[in-house]
Structure 1
């Protein structure tokens, strides 16, 4: 935008323009191109500078326009007040007396003329004003104003001319008051020049301030980065110092410490998992090695057959253990892909009850309601089988399977009349390689992974499993599965 003044023309669009380029040099496109190389500190400075440039451009332009309009209104108000004063004197004293007194007034900032109806000057406050200052002829009591470049007056330049009309002695007279606006235009020009000259200094101050403040803020981030970089698998116990401030840096430090807590817990669990897996595999490997050595030395066919049977049993045990380990590894890596569909849960429970009646001598009691859920049948069948096999190993004479709906969920209860699990161990039994002392002699060949696999498989489908109390003191495992929006009770 260009602003015309008596001292020349000022282009306000150049306010705050950087050397060698205008606003485009600091626009969003430039930030997008340079954002990957100048870093957070540089981007913050660039954004702050751009914002200040835009604010100065908009605010400076608005300030100059408002100032110019305000000063011009003040000039016009001065002209109107002077014209009204002359009109009131004509009404009170007449035209002749008023005209005679105009030249006696020492007014250097305004020129006052009295014209007759034909526009001839009959009185003036300045000798150089011998002709009308404008062609405006308003009605009685009205005021018209116009800006004119009048060279006939001593000062010359831009003037604001206010004209009004008055009736005296049955004639119409016109009063014209010209007020110079050169000073006001010079004031606006001076303000605009100061804005243009001061903007680069302001931009430098803003850039330095933002650079320093962001640098101080990033210093804490750098300390956090350095500390985290020094932490490795051997120093997972180290933690970041949380600053006493309640800002984003403190929140970042707390978040990093929470992440380190999770990493340490995961590392501890992984080490324990590897150690327990090695321990579980050591026993069958030792048995296989011993049996193979004895089979190679003996010539007794019966002994060799027994040794081969032992080796086959250990191989089956190792195959199951490795399969369980692979299942848990896929679960930990979230590599298990579910294929949910509508599943008749009562068919799965009934199948396990029939299987248990066929493969064991236990009494199997069932209470099965028809229930349908939306889940992956394969990921449901394995946890259910693990629970039934666990109940079979610990039962004395009876196993009970129950399926019903409760509170919008499918509920499966697997009970056995063996000893109940102590409340302190009810969560620990779902950990990997955990076998309670009371069950070690009974749970021959168990790896301690079945219940861990059960919980992981059910959790992947939004279900949960827990050990709960039984009214008769039995051991009870309870599974709860969401029916889901597409599941219905049949």
Structure 2
């Protein structure tokens, strides 16, 4: 880039200097030629007004003079030099190797005087200027190239420093940042890059926590299965095949649920993951989930606050969201769960609540993080993988909605209605 800017500056300045020099030489030649014309006119007027104008004119090396009578004949042995009339003319007379500028002045007694002035001084002056420009142009271009190279290098030095710093940042050094003290565009670029590094660091840390938590969660059922099978193998009389099968099946189901949730979140995190959106009646999904809870639990399920509500979204993902909210409520409810659904301010509002102990205000934001279990929900016997509410938050986000905890144990989800 530095070389390209320097070459471009040299090219632009070179073209400007060539064009400017050509115009300067042309204007200088025109101005000097006009001055010679004025001199020739003044000399012709002087000779025409002198008493000796009727005599034979005398020419010199710096001036050609001819007298022309009334009939247009030249009063001299030389051939006619020029017929300038009222304007100056530029002519190379016969026998001369250079151009002259001729001007004429009328004689009172009749005829006219023609005076020619050589253009040798004009040609010498313009040639001298051309030599100066030809010698100065390369020097000017060299100065422009040097100044541009130095200035561009100083301007790009911060970019080079940023590039070197970023090039040295690895996955284990995402805490490093590029210098961003400048108030100009490069400083804004550096600050933008630092914000990108902040996001990468947070994403990397979240990924590490996710992998660590997933490994821990998978280790628990595997360890339980191994423990029970080792006990059964070492002490076959202490357990029966049915007891061992029940334990292994329960831990296997727990591990299957965890793997399914991990795969669902992984697919959701993939770039370009799109929802298969169709018109979805949320009230049908809520009633279906309520029927499942009534058949699977002894809790009182209240759906009297459920009314019609349709959105445009992925039916399977929305069903999973309602299922996870219902399972979360069922694990903590003492006696009942309440569902609510209505349309308000261009959105469909879904609420799921239970009469359990509730969630402390300080924990209401982090319950939607992955692998978060509050103290009241840490028991393995209550089930859950710590990913249910994270999946709920992800589904709501992908449907451009919001979710919050409005009461001790009330989850309110707002999803936009189709326009």
After superposition, the Cα gap between the structure-2 partners of 1:363 and 1:62, relative to the gap in structure 1 and judged at 3 Å, is same
Instruction: Please point out which of 233, 249, 253 is paired with 1:312.
Output: 249
Distance 1:246 1:53 in 2: 33
Instruction: Report what 2:2 is aligned to.
Output: 41
Change (3 A) 1:300 1:57: same
1:64 counterpart (12, 17, 25) = 25
| TM-score under structure 2 length normalisation | 0.83
Given that 1:430 and 1:452 are in contact with CA atoms closer than 8 Å, whether structure 2 keeps it comes out as: yes
Secondary structure of the residue aligned to 1:246 is coil
Deviations 1:183-236 (A, max 9, x none): 223322222233233222233333333333334444444433333344334433
TM-score by length of 1: 0.72
Q: Which runs of 5+ in 2 are unaligned?
A: none
**In the alignment, is the contact (CA less than 8 A) between 1:115 and 1:174 conserved in 2?**
yes
How far the C-alpha of 1:101 sits from its partner, in A, is 11
Query: Among residues 320, 323, 327, which one is paired with 1:382 in the alignment?
Result: 320
Partner residue in 2 for 1:480: 414
The two structures, once aligned, show a CA RMSD in angstroms of: 3.6
| Structure 1 residue 297: Cα displacement | 4.7
Number of the residue aligned with 2:123:
185
Q: Structure 2 matches for 1:263-412, cutoff 5 A?
A: 263-297=200-234, 303-334=240-271, 336-360=273-297, 361-412=299-350
CA separation of 1:322 and 1:57: change in aligned 2, threshold 3 A: same
Q: Matches of residues 151-230 of structure 1 in structure 2 within 5 Å? A: 151=94, 157-163=98-104, 168=108, 173-174=111-112, 176-230=114-168
Residue 15 of structure 2 corresponds to 54
| 1:258-313 CA-partner distances (Å, limit 9, x unpaired) | 33322322222222212212222222122111222233355569833122112111
Stretches of structure 1 lacking an aligned partner (at least 5 in a row): 1-39, 123-127, 138-142
Instruction: Spell out, residue by residue over 1:155-194, the C-alpha distance to the aligned partner (whole angstroms, 9 max, x if none).
Output: x62122344668x57x6x5454434333223322222233
Deviates more, 1:279-288 or 1:144-153: 144-153
Aligned residue for 2:370, secondary structure, equals coil
- Taking the aligned partners of 2:41 and 2:339, their CA distance within structure 1 comes to 103
8 Å contact from structure 2 (residues 311, 416) kept in 1: yes
Q: List per-residue Cα deviations over 1:389-409 (Å, max 9, x = no partner).
A: 222223333333333343333
Give the conservation status (yes or no) of the 8 Å contact 1:151–1:157: no
Q: Secondary structure at the match of 2:240?
A: helix
Is the CA contact (8 Å cut-off) linking 1:284 and 1:317 kept in structure 2? yes
1:35 maps to what in 2?
none
